[in-house]
Every structure is written in structure tokens, then in C-alpha cells.
Amino acid sequence: MSNDTADAPTTDPFDPTQIGPDPYGSDDAAEGRVYTVTGQDWDSLVADQAERGDERIVVNMGPQHPSTHGVLRLILEMEGESVTEARCGIGYLHTGIEKNMEFRTWTQGVTFCTRMDYLSPLSQETTYCLGVERLLDIEEQIPEKANVIRVLMLELNRISSHLVCIATGGMEIGALTVMTIGFREREMVLDVFELITGLRMNHAYIRPGGVAQDIPGNALDKVKELVVWMKKHLPEYADFCNANPIFKGRLCDVGKLDLAGCLALGITGPTLRSTGYDWDLRKKQPYCGYETYDFEVQTWDTADAYGRFRVRLNEMWESVKIVEQCVARLEKMAGMPIMIGDKKIAWPAQLSIGSDGMGNSNEHIKHIMGESMEALIHHFKLVTEGFRVPPGQAYVPIESPRGEIGAHVVSDGGTRPFRAHFRDPSFVNLQAMPAMCEGAMVSDVVVAVASLDPVMGGVDR
């Protein structure tokens, strides 16, 4: 029996020495020169430009603060001061967080994902834990108080994140007073975070099954003081910016992207809502009991940088309303559980530290060691090995300050994630940068990028 194909020539698509069609690319030839700009080819670019003799130049903007919001690199092709082509260069802040989570228990994974988008860590913790809880089929068993605390922390985090966006955006166009007052308010929010979680950022506070520990006795009073402060000082941002002709001149009609463009690129968050579309997962696909809170989705109708600023400013007011409702509920929940009752899953949540601020207190040690030897062994195994999660996969998206964030968690039945992959809104929203910037002036690129509010820790992960 002969093999007619034995002598037929073959083409290996992965062998660069063989010529053949690209199985993963387009056969359409690109028009003109495409600048890859890998970082090592500037000499050749300069030589090519000298030979061509036209007016087009290639500018390497970034990666640096403040113009590119972190280690984002923008490769801009320009004619004069007009941007003809724009591309993003990312990967400078890659941390391998998703891969590292495969080598830690399900609970330990929270300490990794909280470090991605360092301005909204609680959103990452929440979407990850909601996915794990769906795999465990314990969504209905989460204590009500734990969900109220989660909503409280998420809305405080939304306020602090929007404050950074407005503050740094103001700084980049010369509105330094907006920057200083923005960080002033944010510090007060971070003080509340530190009081409740022990940390200003990277909290690892929201855990599968509930939250790490109950709120301290004086926390609600501090939150009330924060609400009073915010109601007094948030109007300053409107006074400085809303009708300021210089501010509006720099933001109005800059970075425009209409609803069709947002939907085509998967853009979410304030950028999408600035087109007038009221897409907010807290209303459309409620989680953590958001359907029981009274608030309105904020939209604008200009689809530009100014509209995104107004959406964020209005959203802070709505978050203050939700925080007030959370405080009212928590005042009636003293002593109620904040972690699931299943001892096979519940991470030790009622920790207390020693009088010197270090280690476990004697009372806590007596509580753990005084129950029974079996309870102590189980406590030890739960902390060191973790709990098992049934095989499967889950994706539970939530509304972060920048848009839809979701954790796709996959379990093979073990004590560690088989895979944890995050749909980060900063990464997806950056796709809009070329559409917003091409054809505009180079001075508007900074404003357009700032209006997207990308955080590179979430982009690169």
C-alpha cells in the first residue's frame, strides 16, 4: 500500500526559513511602513526617516509617570503635532500574579489578586471570592453582615479610586489644586481602610466565605465622619472644574468614543456610561445584595473626556449614599457572623492580636487550643493545606471603578486553583486609546489616556 503524500512538500508554519502562508495572520499587505519599535531599533528608524525625508516622526511617549499613568508606553506617529497612528506598549509591570495563584491555596490567592489593580484592590478580591463561592455552591450561605461589609468596602474603594483619577487627571493639565484636594480626601478613605483591614492597600480582607475579621467597634463612627467630610468637600470639585472654561476647553470633545465604538471594543465603566448607556453591573447583574440598595446609575451624553469626569464625580455622590445605607444596616448587626458557618471552609475570622500588637492574643490561643485536639488539627490543616473546591469553572463579573472586572476561576478538585484569569477593565479599555487619539493633537493624548483611567498593575498582571 503506497502513501501518495509521503513525498509531498510540507510547510512548517513555525519554521521561519520556510516560505508559506501565515496560518494566524492576514494575507493583506500593510500599507506603508509599520513601526514595531521594540526598543532596540531606534538607530534604524532614524536612518529610515532621514532617507524618506517626509514630515512624519515617531515619538516614544513613556513609560513613565505622569503622562502615561504608570509604565504605559505609547508609540505615536505624528505629522507636525497631529497624531496619525497610536499604539500601546504594555508588559513593563508584569508580575506573574495569575500564574503564582496556581501554587497557593484558594484563600491565599486573595493576597495575590489584591495586588493587581492597586487602586481598586477590593474589587479584585470580591470577584475572585464570588467565583470561588460559586464553585463551592455556598453563595446562599454567605452571612448577610459579610455582604454588607463587602458593599461598604467596595463603595469606599470606588470613591478613593475616582479621587485618584480626578486628582492625577487634573495634575496632568495643570490643575494642581484638584490634585492636592483629591489626595486629601483619598487619605481619609485609606485611614478607614487601615482601621478595618489593617492595611491601606493590598488588603486581602475579603475571603471565600465572608471577610477576614469583623469591623472594629469605632469603625462606623469613623465612616460617619468620612461621610460628613465628603458631603462638605465633594462640591469643591464641581466648583473648580464643572464650569471652568479652561478645564472644559481641555476636556470637551477630547478623546471622543461613541456608543458603537465602546460596544465594538468591549469598553465598560465610566467610559461607556459617558455615552449615555446606563450599563452598570450593580444594577444589571446584582451581586452582594446590591439590588437592595437605593442608588442611581450615573450617565452623561457627550462621550468625551469631560463626560467621563462628570460621571466619576456623580458616582462618588452615589457611593456616599450607599455607604450611609451600609452604616445604618451594620449598626443593627452587632455580633452577627461575618464568615460562613461551615468549618470545612471558614478561614479563622475572629482573630485577636496580643497586647504588643504582634502575634495571637492569649485569649485567642485558649479559644483554639481549648476546644479539642481534633479542632486544633483541623485548624492547622485548613490554614496550611486549605479546603478543596469541586471541579468546574466559574466567572462572576462585578462593577469596579474602571468597569467590568471578572475572575475566571477553574478548579480540578484540589486545594489550589487550576487556573485563575482576570478580565481586567484597564486592559480592555486601553484598546480605545488609538481610536481616541488618532487624528487629534499630541497634547490631547495625555487627556484621553487619563480619561480612561488605566492602572498598569491590572493591565500587565
Exposed / middle / buried, residue 228 (Cβ in 10 Å: 0-12, 13-18, 19+): exposed
Residue 288 counted as domain residue: yes
Residue 224 counted as domain residue: yes
Q: What is the CATH number of the domain that holds 227?
A: 1.10.645.10
Residue 314 counted as domain residue: yes
Residue 356 counted as domain residue: no
Residue 360 counted as domain residue: no
Q: What is the reported pLDDT for 9? A: 47
DSSP structure class, residue 61: E
Q: What is the reported pLDDT for 65? A: 61
Domain count, the chain: 1
Q: Please check whether residue 183 is in contact with residue 175, taking contact to mean a CB–CB distance below 8 angstroms.
A: no
Q: Please check whether residue 267 is in contact with residue 432, taking contact to mean a CB–CB distance below 8 angstroms.
A: yes
* Crossing angle (nearest 10°) for helices 305-330 and 144-172: 150
The residues, any chain, with a CB within 8 Å of residue 15's CB and separated by 6 or more, are: none
Q: In angstroms, rounded to a whole number, what is the distance separating the alpha carbons of residues 43 and 14? A: 29
Q: In angstroms, rounded to a whole number, what is the distance separating the alpha carbons of residues 359 and 60? A: 50
Residue 249 counted as domain residue: yes
Main-chain phi, psi angles of 2, to 5 degrees: -90, 155
With helix as H, strand as E and coil as C, how does 145-196 read?
A: HHHHHHHHHHHHHHHHHHHHHHHHHHHHCCCHHHHHHHHHHHHHHHHHHHHH
The letter for the amino acid at 450 is A
- Assigned C-alpha cell, 299: 450617565
Q: In angstroms, rounded to a whole number, what is the distance separating the alpha carbons of residues 102 and 97? A: 9
Tens of each residue's pLDDT in the chain, 461 residues: 444 444 444 545 445 445 455 444 445 555 556 655 555 566 676 676 667 666 777 787 877 765 566 788 888 888 888 888 888 888 888 888 989 998 988 888 888 989 888 888 999 999 999 999 999 888 888 889 999 999 999 999 999 999 988 888 878 777 788 888 888 889 999 999 988 888 888 888 898 888 888 888 888 999 999 999 989 988 888 888 788 888 888 888 888 888 888 888 888 989 999 998 888 898 899 988 899 998 898 888 888 888 888 899 899 999 999 999 999 999 888 888 888 887 778 776 555 666 665 666 677 677 767 766 777 777 777 788 888 889 999 999 999 999 999 999 999 988 889 999 999 998 898 888 888 888 888 888 888 888 888 888 888 87
DSSP assignments along 295-364, one per residue:
------SS-SHHHHHHHHHHHHHHHHHHHHHHHHHHTT-TT---B-S-TTT-------B-TTSSSB-HHH
Residue 312 counted as domain residue: yes
The residues, any chain, with a CB within 8 Å of residue 372's CB and separated by 6 or more, are: none
The residues, any chain, with a CB within 8 Å of residue 342's CB and separated by 6 or more, are: 138, 141, 209
Q: What is the reported pLDDT for 431? A: 87
Q: What is the reported pLDDT for 74? A: 84
Q: In angstroms, rounded to a whole number, what is the distance separating the alpha carbons of residues 150 and 154? A: 6
Domain with 293, as residue range(s), is 97-345+387-460
Q: In angstroms, rounded to a whole number, what is the distance separating the alpha carbons of residues 181 and 167? A: 8
Residue 77 counted as domain residue: no
Exposed / middle / buried, residue 87 (Cβ in 10 Å: 0-12, 13-18, 19+): middle
Cross-strand partners of 109: none
Give the count of beta carbons closer than 10 Å to the beta carbon of residue 356. Answer: 7
Main-chain phi, psi angles of 56, to 5 degrees: -80, 135
